[in-house]
Structure 1
Amino acid sequence: MSTGLRERKKSATRQALHEAAVRLAIEHGPDRVTVEAIADAAEVSRRTFSNYFANKEEALLYGDLARMRLLLDAVRSRPESDAPWPVLTAAAVEVFQDFGTRDPGWIAQVRLVRRHPALAAQQVTTYTAMEDDLTAELTARGVAAPIRARLMAAAFLTSLRVAVQAYPDRTGGATLTAVMQEALAETGKGFVCG
């Protein structure tokens, strides 16, 4: 399905604001970055910024939200007959496989999140919002007990968040995918039966 010009422009503006927020936060620290500075760097008005993001933290972590949406799409694209935890793991590998290289900008962003409580809180909010959608998907896939579906979704998302936070400190050429698979394998031990 082709995206219309208006939607492509909106997407480009959202991405420009996100990139400006990341760049400024890395250069000056998130506490010194203002919404106005982000809007100026993206060459849009403060009002335009507000049409896309509620605050600078949301703009900075927009990439996380975009990846969470891709992750949900990847889960939904898997055969319904497949066991839930392997479906989640395969979807994570698919979405995050391109993050296996050590992009200095992304690594800096991950480290910013670890050091700044407001960013960490925004990241947890993003992951928690995805929990409802994943719980519904797991329930539709036959995870009968609602609490088990919710626990599985929460454990999965927490594993991803922990892997992303641990990745910058790994040495020896470990990829994000490898760190993620390790975290998911450990967490999944309690869910491999369905």
Structure 2
Amino acid sequence: MGLRERKKAATREALVRAAVQLVLARGVEGVTVEAIADEAGVSPRTFHNYFPGKEEAIVAPLVDGVRELIDAVRARPADEPVWESLRHAVVELLQSVGHLEETLPLLHVIKDEPALLAWHMRGFAELQEELCAAVAERTGTDAKRDLYPRLMAGAVGLAIRVVLDLWTEGKTDTDITELFEDAFARLRAGLPTP
């Protein structure tokens, strides 16, 4: 990236970090666009160059994580089986994320706030379409016409949601990476009865 792109990325990251810190400290109602912009050291107008509203900035870390996952899938070896590529991409993403302890309370806030949950699900649906396209590229199928890439993207999306739900609700003491490994192994095996 050139200097301009690096500055834009740094500004966006500052806005996202400010949004997350403020929502965790004040709750959704206590956060405004102006407060996020002020915390990040920019104007509200600059904020709107990056996000239409506070909700998008708050859920951005999760949406960005899914984008990183898609990029990681595309970077895997072309001859690797799709399930293996997806599994490796998820594990690599989890190992590179240094702020899982911040992600847990953010997920709780999102689940408790309908407006945030709606934005989160909307972003997730858009990114699931991108994952469908990535699977289609790897398998030589058509993302618009063929069932396989859509089923694969849907299954992966569901696995991600189920694992995150179990993890955030504290219904398991299993490590999140192990949960993902287990979910992908079960899906790959055709979901045999335990």
How far the C-alpha of 1:68 sits from its partner, in A, is: 1.8
CA distance in 1 between counterparts of 2:55 and 2:188 reads 31
Structure 1 pair 49/70, CA: closer, same or farther in 2 (3 Å)?
Answer: same
Q: Give the conservation status (yes or no) of the 8 Å contact 1:25–1:33.
A: yes
Q: Which amino acid aligns with 1:96?
A: L
Bigger Cα displacement from structure 2, 105-114 vs 92-101 = 92-101
Greater relative contact order (Cα < 8 A, sep 6+): 1
Deviations 1:102-156 (A, max 9, x none): 52x2221111112112222222122211222221222222264712211210220
1:68 matches 2:66: yes
Structure 1: which 5+ runs fail to align?
A: none
- Which residue pairs with 1:189 in the alignment? 189
Deviations 1:42-70 (A, max 9, x none): 12111000000111111011112221221
Q: Give the conservation status (yes or no) of the 8 Å contact 1:64–1:126.
A: no
Aligned residues: 187
Alignment RMSD (CA, Å): 2.1
**Please, which of 47, 52, 70 is the counterpart of residue 49 of structure 1?**
47
- Which residue pairs with 1:108 in the alignment? 105
- Which residue pairs with 1:136 in the alignment? 133
- Which residue pairs with 1:23 in the alignment? 21
TM-score scaled by structure 2?
A: 0.86
Q: Which amino acid aligns with 1:189?
A: A
SS in structure 1 at match of 2:29: helix
CA distance in 2 between counterparts of 1:164 and 1:107 reads 9
SS in structure 1 at match of 2:139: coil
TM-score scaled by structure 1?
A: 0.86
- Which residue pairs with 1:93 in the alignment? 91
CA distance in 2 between counterparts of 1:38 and 1:123 reads 19
Q: Give the conservation status (yes or no) of the 8 Å contact 1:100–1:176.
A: no
CA distance in 1 between counterparts of 2:121 and 2:186 reads 21
Q: Which amino acid aligns with 2:40?
A: A
Q: Which amino acid aligns with 2:80?
A: D
Structure 2: which 5+ runs fail to align?
A: none
CA distance in 2 between counterparts of 1:166 and 1:124 reads 17
1:175 matches 2:171: no
CA distance in 2 between counterparts of 1:100 and 1:50 reads 27
SS in structure 2 at match of 1:32: coil
Q: Give the conservation status (yes or no) of the 8 Å contact 1:61–1:122.
A: yes
How far the C-alpha of 1:166 sits from its partner, in A, is: 2.1
